[in-house]
Amino acid sequence: MPFIKRLDAFAILSVIFPLAVYLLTLAPSVTFFDSGEFITATACLGSAHSPGYPFFLNYAKPFTWIPLSSVAFKVNFATAVSGALACFGVYLLTTCILRKERLAGNDSLNELLAKGAALAACLTFTFSPRLWLQSNHDKPYPLLAFIVAIILYLILQWRESYREGSERPSYIFISSFLCGLATGTHQTIILMIPAFAYLIISMNWQIVFRIRDLVVAAIFGILGFAINLHLPIRATRAPLLNWANPQTRDQFLWHFLRKGYPGEHVERGWTLLWKQINAFNIPHEFTSVGLFIMIIGLAFIVIKRRDEVISYLLALATFLLVIAGYFNTPEETIFLTEEFFTPMYLFSAVFMGIGLFFLTGKTVEKLRLIPNLQMAKTVTTVLLLALPTTVCSLNYVKNDQHLNYIAFDYGTNVIRSAPQGAALYTWGDSGAFPIWYIQGVERMREDLDILHTPHLIFDWYLDAFPRTFTNSILRRIPLESLSPENALLLAAGEQYATRPVLIDYSTRYSVPFSGYKLIQHGITYQLIEDGSKMGQAPNLSVWDIYAMRDLGGKEMFFRDLDTGKAIMIYANSKLEIGEDLLRQGRLGDGLQSLRTAAQISPELTAEITQILSRYGVR
């Protein structure tokens, strides 16, 4: 009974409720972008794209042992748990800061105000579109946000003990260990270090001269950073996904320092700079009202908690200077940097909770409700829940992925329909990663070689396909002198005589295939040499085995950029077939294909009308 009485019902709700929401909207299988790659790397404990993400992979791996559903679903479940923990971090930090604050004259009402405001901030963060979309399929950012919350909490606890004269340096040592460990989740943890350091040094700048404590903290940091040894150790076992094969020191550093991503010089103007800065967008995540409440929270607490406010502003300045300033992201990839600000949104939600505490308390006082305690508690609850309820209603539909099978169906359609023993060349993460997962983890069509064109210029990638590239011409040419397009043309040219060669939709529009005809094979294309006597009509039978759930339907609400592209690929493929059939005089089949294209993507209606008019069909 004493243990049960000590349980904080609000703290329990701050984990259970976010987890329930994320599970209700959880993606049932692989999704687009990095999803298939992360799931495959988790399943084999290999290495994902640079810098490898070893801690995230090792965190998610135990979830794959749960005896339910697919590996993809279980890794998605692991991310939902980390998202719920990140939301709990908001509650933990908000209650820590509000622990000694009092607004209401009644103790029970004041406790409801403090814990209720913390829970409301937690739920507002839960329903923010960025975190929600990261938490219902596999992403490392929620796990990073949770680690940041725990580090901030430990430092705040250390500051409290320092003020009371019973300093506990172990809190700082554990924080240092977690910083090192977090580098295996995402390297943006480095951008939080100035804020952590300020919170420590601002207590007493002479702390920097404690050589022994600095050495111990460094040792703990190195121990946490040792999670990255996972990469070279596992590389020696040749896992299914072994990005960069980081066995050697040089290859490990190449991988860890992200040298595989060439820098692109971009001329920056004020318009581009503003778009880069707006990658961090509080009104989008929490509404304009949420921004106002956060500013009130900062103003309310700035006198009593000046260092916490300064550390927040310092962290924000560091993120913007590095992400928007130093990296100078091109406009077309700014959406990638939006993911990196998740820890800052968590930090922002804490001050939102403080603002809710102040505004709600003052409103209850002004309305003179405190003598009527029950009424005061009712009004407090309604006021506190208004913001998270609003944010939830704005974002639920567009973040609901529980029927999102688009990527899974796309991948299975591509590889199930491929000819036996074919080489399939892909281009782009979303075109390749779902197929990697389906073939590698779900063991479908292992006779195929699924080749990612942008990687053909790396020796470590060619090493992963000894059957295909051991005696290839690519082994006799300095790869640094090749573009991915030329590497594809050379590889396809030498494979064409011995096996079917297919390319995906993106590759068709990325590489000029002179000397070849592209024969439609569903949503892929088979290469046929000019002058070949092989049949050149599109293979319509492929579509009979395609799974096309929710294409053009209204049940699957979720649409992100790559899901929309996949739907357009189906629609455009049907449009191409329809036009080709009309050209051959097959009016009925052509009209049916065009109708299907219009059903999948109504945006093509005008183009379809133009095609029909060219062939005299209404």
Q: Would you say residue 131 has pLDDT above 60?
A: yes
Q: What are phi and psi of 592, to 5 degrees?
A: -65, -40
535 pLDDT band, cuts 50/70/90, is low
44 and 58 both lie in a single domain: yes
Read off the pLDDT of residues 87-128 as tens digits, 9 standing for 90 and up. Answer: 999 999 999 999 888 876 677 888 889 999 999 999 999 999
179 and 289 both lie in a single domain: yes
146 pLDDT band, cuts 50/70/90, is very high
Q: How far apart are the first and last CA of the chain?
A: 78
Tokens 């009979």, residue located: 544
Is 2 among the domain residues? no
522 and 561 both lie in a single domain: no
CA distances from 604 to 119, 468, 580 (A): 46, 40, 16
Q: Are 320 and 194 in contact (CB under 8 A)?
A: no
541 pLDDT band, cuts 50/70/90, is confident
523 and 458 both lie in a single domain: yes
Measured from the Cβ of residue 433, the count of other Cβ atoms closer than 10 Å reads 28
Is 13 among the domain residues? yes
Count of all residues that appear for the chain in the document: 618
* pLDDT at residue 408 in the model: 93
* pLDDT at residue 108 in the model: 82
Where among 480, 510, 540 does a domain terminate? 540
**Nearest-5° Cα angle at 276, 269 to 139:** 155
291 and 391 both lie in a single domain: yes
444 and 535 both lie in a single domain: yes
Q: Would you say residue 501 has pLDDT above 60?
A: yes
The DSSP secondary structure of 292-330, one letter per residue, reads: HHHHHHHHHHTTTTHHHHHHHHHHHHHHIIIIIIIS---
The DSSP secondary structure of 149-190, one letter per residue, reads: HHHHHHHHHHHHHHHTT---THHHHHHHHHHHHHTTT-GGGG
What are 439-442's contacts with CB under 8 Å, separation 24+? 439/415, 440/40, 440/43, 440/44, 440/240, 440/241, 441/39, 441/40, 441/43, 441/44, 441/71, 441/72, 441/240, 442/70, 442/71
Is 451 among the domain residues? yes
DSSP 192: G
* pLDDT at residue 2 in the model: 65
Give the integer Cα–Cα distance in Å for 135 and 405: 17
Q: Would you say residue 330 has pLDDT above 90?
A: no
Give the integer Cα–Cα distance in Å for 32 and 563: 7
Is 151 among the domain residues? yes
* pLDDT at residue 104 in the model: 64
Where among 359, 374, 399 does a domain terminate? 399
Read off the pLDDT of residues 167-191 as tens digits, 9 standing for 90 and up. Answer: 899 999 999 999 999 999 999 999 9
Is 1 among the domain residues? no
Higher per-residue confidence, 292 vs 533: 292
Q: Are 125 and 94 in contact (CB under 8 A)?
A: no
* pLDDT at residue 321 in the model: 93
Q: Beta strand pairing status for 501-504 and 516-521?
A: unpaired
Is 106 among the domain residues? yes
44 pLDDT band, cuts 50/70/90, is very high
Q: Would you say residue 555 has pLDDT above 60?
A: no
Give the integer Cα–Cα distance in Å for 47 and 348: 32
**What percent of the chain stands above pLDDT 90?**
58
> Which residues have C-beta within 8 Å of that of residue 9, sequence separation ≥ 6?
none
285 and 228 both lie in a single domain: yes
Tokens 């040894």, residue located: 229
79 and 188 both lie in a single domain: yes
184 and 286 both lie in a single domain: yes
328 and 422 both lie in a single domain: no
Read off the pLDDT of residues 331-362 as tens digits, 9 standing for 90 and up. Answer: 888 888 889 999 999 999 999 999 999 999 88
Q: What is the pTM of this model?
A: 0.93
570 and 517 both lie in a single domain: no
The DSSP secondary structure of 194-256, one letter per residue, reads: HHHHHHHHTT-GGGGG-HHHHHHHHHHHHHHHGGGGHHHHHHTT--S-BTT-TTSHHHHHHHH
- Token pair in block for residue 519: 């024969």
* pLDDT at residue 482 in the model: 87
| For range 269-290, the mean pLDDT | 91
Read off the pLDDT of residues 45-71 as tens digits, 9 standing for 90 and up. Answer: 999 999 999 999 999 999 999 998 899
* pLDDT at residue 216 in the model: 96
Range of the domain at 240: 9-399
- Token pair in block for residue 82: 């980390």
**Nearest-5° Cα angle at 607, 606 to 611:** 120
594 and 614 both lie in a single domain: yes
Where among 344, 374, 399 does a domain terminate? 399
Q: Are 96 and 354 in contact (CB under 8 A)?
A: no
Read off the pLDDT of residues 397-433 as tens digits, 9 standing for 90 and up. Answer: 889 998 889 999 999 999 999 999 999 999 888 889 9
Read off the pLDDT of residues 575-593 as tens digits, 9 standing for 90 and up. Answer: 988 888 888 888 888 898 8
Is 72 among the domain residues? yes
Is 3 among the domain residues? no
Domain count, the chain: 3
